[in-house]
Amino acid sequence: MDTTRRAFFKLAAGGLVLAGGARAFAQAKIKPGPQDVLLVVDVQNCFTPGGSLAVNDGDKIVPIINRLAPAFEHVVLTQDWHSPGHISFASSHAGKKPFDTVSLPYGTQVLWPDHCVQGTPGAELHKDLRIPHAELIIRKGYRKHMDSYSAFYEADGKTPTGLIGYLRDRGLTTVFLVGLATDFCVFWSAMDARKAGFNALVIEDATRGIGTGGSMAKAWQEMLGAGVRRIQSADVVVERRARPSVLSVLRAITCSSSVGMTQAEARPPTAKIPVPRASEAN
């Protein structure tokens, strides 16, 4: 584990640390293009109010993400996807409680309440998330003996999730990050995006964090120092497409139905009701 990662985990040990090629457009605005991707990090039931590891107001970012998503041609989502009895769970360590720490081969591990267990409702994406055009879901943390925070690498900072190769193969160069939590999974994802050579922008109001022990300030300091840009959702141009009128839709249906038909074929068919023969009437 690199020294930056170790330092952050030492800060996290004091308490719960779970938080929140773009083109300039009209100087202050950013219009996402074909080489940009929106990375939606861990917007899951366990991390929103009512979940076992809830981030305060975590559900408040869902409408913002839904509004932003149509601006991006490419969207990737991540899910924490832990096996039962995962090494990061306090319940897997005798005498330990949530937010204690233990030393593991890859470094200091904060112990969490059981969360995002594979196939459980808590691991599901938030029900109000509406991104039908999302192209990929990256599941992380499924290795039982290693935790995972970043969308790009497991907690050892070396084991890849496969996202780097996916983005490179598709020619995507700039990552816009939203989701949960700012000073943990979003933080590590942004840092690792820069480490892998991508441009990275965190949309601050589309994330939420907890920030105990100064973790939020430290996370932003490290992200900005690594070249991550800090922006707001209002900085992103979201082009709204006009909805067609009901009349235009009906006309389109009529025209498409009539293409290649004769006048007689285009008319609605007349129902034929069979008339029973006299021998069948009785």
Which residues belong to the active site? Answer: 42, 140, 185
Sort 48 into a burial class: Cβ within 10 Å, 0-12 / 13-18 / 19+: buried
From 13, 167, 39, select the one nearest 100 (Cα to Cα): 13
Could you give the CA distance from residue 115 to residue 91 in angstroms, rounded to a whole number? Answer: 11
Could you give the CA distance from residue 154 to residue 270 in angstroms, rounded to a whole number? Answer: 66
What DSSP element (H or E) covers 41? Answer: strand 36-41
**Dihedral sign, CA of 64, 232, 180, 100?**
negative
How does strand 29-31 pair with strand 23-25? antiparallel
Q: At what angle do helices 185-195 and 3-12 cross, to 10 degrees?
A: 170
Tokens of 40: 């939606």
